[in-house]
């Protein structure tokens, strides 16, 4: 029998940004950082702030990590739940996932201890590194904190997002630019 390894599904040591799908009262999608200490193992962790993802995990105890490179999917799932049209029929797998991993979850306070049960590579398409995509992800991390931040923190976030916008405009594809504008709409931020 073949040995399961996180590395076979696109995960590497460090923090892997994926779209987490969880089941509970309803199917939830959210970008989450999966912390890997040994990519050749089946064990990983995630640090979870209060969210629907955390609530679902208390109910269901399973997480499907979808490896995705689509800027719009990252942006939408950071602020709302994707409806069933985005999923492979009847499965917690996104249609445009490059790979997915199904994890068993053991919650200890805000840390989810993950054990890989199975995984699959769905699409081998390549993309060169794009700085527009990278800074979109960076901006989304700040944008998801924006609404719960005080005035001082908000100003700092706005400055970062303004700086990242220039890079998205210079380096991003049409989809990164669209995703960046969508993100600004979600948080109600108008930049000149
Ligand atoms: C790239 C990225 C990585 C994130 N990583 C985490 C994480 O590791 N843990 C967490 O609690 N929230 C993380 N977030 C924030 C959640 O995605 C965000 O709070 C989301 O709104 C939660 O959605 P939910 O309430 O539907 O679960 C991340 C956001 C982004 C954009």
pLDDT tens column, 125-145: 999 999 999 999 999 999 999
Expressed in angstroms and rounded, the spacing between residue 150 Cα and the centre of ligand 1 is: 19
Asked whether residue 39 is assigned to any structural domain, the reply reads yes
Nearest atom in ligand 1 to the alpha carbon of residue 29 is 26
Asked whether residue 116 is assigned to any structural domain, the reply reads yes
Do both 147 and 84 map to the same domain?
no
Expressed in angstroms and rounded, the spacing between residue 30 Cα and the centre of ligand 1 is: 6
Do both 95 and 65 map to the same domain?
yes
- Ligand 1 pocket, mutate which of 19, 23, 32, 180 (most atoms under 8 A from CB): 32
CB 24 near ligand 1, within 6 Å: no
CB 71 near ligand 1, within 6 Å: no
pTM: 0.97
Do both 153 and 102 map to the same domain?
no
Do both 109 and 135 map to the same domain?
no
Do both 65 and 157 map to the same domain?
no
Expressed in angstroms and rounded, the spacing between residue 79 Cα and the centre of ligand 1 is: 9
In sequence order, the 6+-apart residues with CB closer than 8 A to the CB of 94 are: 19, 21, 29, 66, 68, 73, 82, 86, 87, 88, 100
Nearest atom in ligand 1 to the alpha carbon of residue 137 is 1
Asked whether residue 29 is assigned to any structural domain, the reply reads yes
* CATH code of the domain in which 173 resides: 1.20.58.290
* CATH code of the domain in which 11 resides: 2.30.110.10
Q: Tell me, what's the pLDDT at 2? A: 75
Question: Domain residues for 76?
Answer: 6-121
Do both 33 and 116 map to the same domain?
yes
Q: Tell me, what's the pLDDT at 191? A: 87
Last residue of a domain, one of 86, 121, 156: 121
Do both 59 and 115 map to the same domain?
yes
In sequence order, the 6+-apart residues with CB closer than 8 A to the CB of 4 are: 42, 116, 118, 119
Q: Tell me, what's the pLDDT at 113? A: 98
Last residue of a domain, one of 99, 121, 143: 121
Do both 136 and 159 map to the same domain?
yes
Stretches in the chain below the pLDDT threshold 70: 1
Last residue of a domain, one of 84, 102, 121: 121
Q: Tell me, what's the pLDDT at 1? A: 66
Asked whether residue 192 is assigned to any structural domain, the reply reads no
Nearest atom in ligand 1 to the alpha carbon of residue 143 is 31
Do both 138 and 166 map to the same domain?
yes
Q: Are 97 and 9 in contact, with CB atoms under 8 Å apart? A: no
Asked whether residue 1 is assigned to any structural domain, the reply reads no
How many domains is the chain partitioned into structurally? 2
Burial class of residue 77 in the structure, from the number of CB atoms within 10 Å of its CB (0-12 exposed, 13-18 middle, 19+ buried): buried
Of residues 4, 142, 140, 123, the one with CA closest to residue 67: 123
DSSP string, 48-95: --SSHHHHHHHHH-EEEEEE---HHHHHHHHHS---GGGBSTTSS-BT
Do both 104 and 150 map to the same domain?
no
Asked whether residue 57 is assigned to any structural domain, the reply reads yes
Do both 70 and 141 map to the same domain?
no
- Ligand 1 pocket, mutate which of 17, 54, 78 (most atoms under 8 A from CB): 78
């Amino acid at each position: 029998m073949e040995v399961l390894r996180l590395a076979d599904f696109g995960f590497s040591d460090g923090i892997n940004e994926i779209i987490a799908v969880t089941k509970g009262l309803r199917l939830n999608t959210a970008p989450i950082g999966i912390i890997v200490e040994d990519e050749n193992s089946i064990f990983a962790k995630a640090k979870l702030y209060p969210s629907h993802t955390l609530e679902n995990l208390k109910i269901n105890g399973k997480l499907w990590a979808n490896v995705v490179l689509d800027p719009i999917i990252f942006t939408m799932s950071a602020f709302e739940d994707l409806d069933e049209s985005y999923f492979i029929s009847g499965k917690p797998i996104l249609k445009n996932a490059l790979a997915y991993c199904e994890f068993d979850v053991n919650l200890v306070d805000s840390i989810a201890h993950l054990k890989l049960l199975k995984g699959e590579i769905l699409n081998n398409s390549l993309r060169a590194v794009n700085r527009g995509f990278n800074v979109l992800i960076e901006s989304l991390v700040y944008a998801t904190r924006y609404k719960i931040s005080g005035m001082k923190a908000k100003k700092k976030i706005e400055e970062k997002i303004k700086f990242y916008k220039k890079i998205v405009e210079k380096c991003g594809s049409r989809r990164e630019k669209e995703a960046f504008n969508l993100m600004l709409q979600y948080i109600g931020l108008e930049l000149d």
